[in-house]
Amino acid sequence: MNTTIVETLIETTKDFSIEETMDFLANEYKDKVVFSTSFGQEDQVITALIAKSDVAINIFTLDTGRLFQETYDVFHKTLKKYKKHIEVYFPEASEVQNMLNEKGPNSFYDSVENRKECCFIRKVAPLTKALKGNSIWITGLRAEQSENRNDLGFFEYDANFKIIKFNPLLKWTLKEVEAYLEKNNVPQNTLHKKGFLSIGCEPCTRAIAPGEDIRAGRWSWESSQKECGLHQK
């Protein structure tokens, strides 16, 4: 069933622009299309496209409680520029409290299991709440971001969250993303100019050196697949 829907969406929108596809989805799945932003470069492109076309897509973000101040700054600038509401989802305070009481504030450095626990509490559980009841989840994933994302499709069914994903920037290069941001004067996180290409929580993100993989700055002490559980690829 879900495979059939995905195939139908791919066929129906194959000649559509991103804006036309988003408009189609907003009409086809009224009030059930959401976009998750972490205010990274790709997400800022999509926010600008949504705002420019004034399409009926709800935007939300996850505040883990450990974000960079620069992320809050671009959040604020984005609200002021586009005048579009962005819903904020927080982790459950009791879950964070219990984790810190049991393991301390930096348990995520001790093991992959601990890090994934922290990611689950601060990100995955709030995302589950944000996606509940919706049909389409728009993301800023690009194939170029990591080897794990090379085989993604524009539409795909996410069995983990039981929702259809739309990845409009899938085939965009980083240069194309940066060019769009500059041309359209889209607010950007100042950390991008300092070597932070993929930005998450402050203690789990570092700048990358020239030639390093885009995701190398995330959980750099690990040799894992560099994913937190929001996207399995």
Q: Which residues contact 12 (CB under 8 A, 6 or more apart)?
A: 24
Structure tokens at 121: 């509490």
Give the C-alpha separation, 231 to 228, whole Å: 7
Catalytic residue (one of 118, 119, 201, 228): 228
Give the C-alpha separation, 13 to 22, whole Å: 10
Asked about 228 being catalytic, the answer comes back as yes
**Which residues are designated catalytic?**
228
